[in-house]
Chains A and B, each alone.
Chain A
Amino acid sequence: MYSEKVMNHFSNPRNVGEVENANGVGTVGNPQCGDIMKLTIRVEDDIIKDVKFKTFGCGAAIATSSMVTELVKGKSLDEAEKISNATVAEALDGLPPVKMHCSNLAADALHSAIEDYKKNESK
């Protein structure tokens, strides 16, 4: 039911863990659906230098988390903010329809981490 790319990211997830000295954290989830993602980022000069994830969730949730870390590593905040849940799903060659809403939260976690970073900066 999952694409090869999803299974690849699921069985061999990239950037698992938590960034040391993270200056942005985003945690989003939906326990009803059984998906919770925590994304930590290290931003320097408006560039996402490092990003890692921890995810409780199904195959799609883990694959989208892994994919979003690959998509944003080294990108500017402006570029990262443009990434949507749809972009992530597309990069994985699509997700089963039933998973599009529930388990496709990785971009939400990213935006939440960026927001957190900006809030920390303005303090």
Chain B
Amino acid sequence: MLQSVDGSNDVEGRRHWIGVLARAELAFLEQEMPRLKPPSHTWLRKPETGLAMVRARIGGTGDKFNLGEALITRCTLRLATGETGVAYVQGRSHRKVELAAIGDALLQSPTMHAAAYRILIEPVLHELAARSARAQRLAQATRVEFFTVAREAGA
């Protein structure tokens, strides 16, 4: 699960919000982004769909191996105000990756950071935490204690 951090505007903060934006729903980003009135942007790298080879470790801890690929989409853009936004998301949505990159750029702007964090990041964090807690609760409802039944003496 995505670890929670404070909403600071540094590398650690950025690593975190890029992950949150990647998990946001397209409809949410479409709806909320206009509230931040983002400046126009130019592309450094237009949205591009491709594959990331997913690696794992043998036995969970041993040598790396290639498990299979995941479909991802990425882009890089620059806002008219100068900030560069990068986004990587799962799936094929060019629109979602564009909005996520705009979000990343806004969050780096000292003047926009607080509003962008409140509007784009906090609701998603809230939703992710709720989803995770629900999955956990449902799984725990199937938790079981197995007992071995001792044989009677002489049986």
A and B part of one assembly: no
